[in-house]
Amino acid sequence: MEYWEDNNTEAARIVNKGLTVDQNSLDLLILKAKVQNVNKDFNGSKTTLDRILEIDPQHTEARKLLIRIRDQVSMNEIGINYNWLYFDKQFEDNWHIAGLSYKRGTSVGSFIFRTNFANKFGRNGTQFELEAYPRLSRMFYMYLGAGYSNSDGIFPKFRSGASLYANLPASFEAEIGFRQLKFSENVWMYTASVGKYYKNFWFNARTYLTPGENNISHSYTGTVRYYTKGSDDYLGFILGTGISPEENRENLFEGTPYKMKTFKTGLDYNFTIKSKNIFSITGTYYNVEYKPEIKDNQFDLSIGYRRRF
């Protein structure tokens, strides 16, 4: 009651008194972690959540909260990643994309600055991006993003996006938003997703809808993650159709009078070393109908490293 009335000092006192009687009470520990989170004691909240997962590795609520606060635990993060995209028929040259990023966690949310370097169609280009994840309340937070490039044909000249996320009861989460890409013309996409945490698993279903002159293009993706330890250690599997703007394949949205039919499937592996070193490797296979009745087999391999401090 004290917690829901925002009397967090009194809530913490009662919870800590109860933990002197039963230090392993999961109900009291999860409430303590929530109070610490509200009080912006993110490191303390993480310690409490790690304790819960030691007792019960399949505690759904603890894992969900741990993932939500991870960007506030370490205030700074630098990262580097590399993407190699192979085309069997559609393009003569393979694509190479490298990225450098810096993330800053703050009391209002995290901010990310990213620089991307690409070689596509035998030419080089650079893109700059800024993203933010401001927290609005216990239930709501947002994604805001913008990007710019003067490398015509390599990246979109401008890109932007916004989403509103809601943390719902029963460990569900939902999102609704838009993405915009500016090539010779603007491409507008509208997205929605729903996710669910269950023990060590995270399930997510997402769609992108892109209105055209005569119809609407559809993209659907399902993702399943199995968390092996903390918030950055997991095995992931994706399955979907269509192309999304988060796949470093934005050029495929430009000048495509024929709506491509795409099937994709992939695996994702993230793991940490000493909690502050995060490694990732992702492999995705695409079967793309880039012209009527002409299909191409394409592969996307991505590797990345991030360091928190």
Mean pLDDT of the 228-250 span: 85
| pLDDT range class, residue 184, cuts 50, 70, 90 | confident
Percent residues over pLDDT 90 in the chain: 67
User: How high is the mean pLDDT of the chain?
Assistant: 91
pLDDT at 252 over 80: no
pLDDT of residue 254: 62
pTM of the model: 0.87
Number of H helices, E strands in the chain: 4, 14
CA distance 115 to 307: 17
Separation CA 74–CA 80 (nearest Å): 17
Residues 6 or more apart whose Cβ sits within 8 Å of residue 217: 208, 209, 210, 242, 259
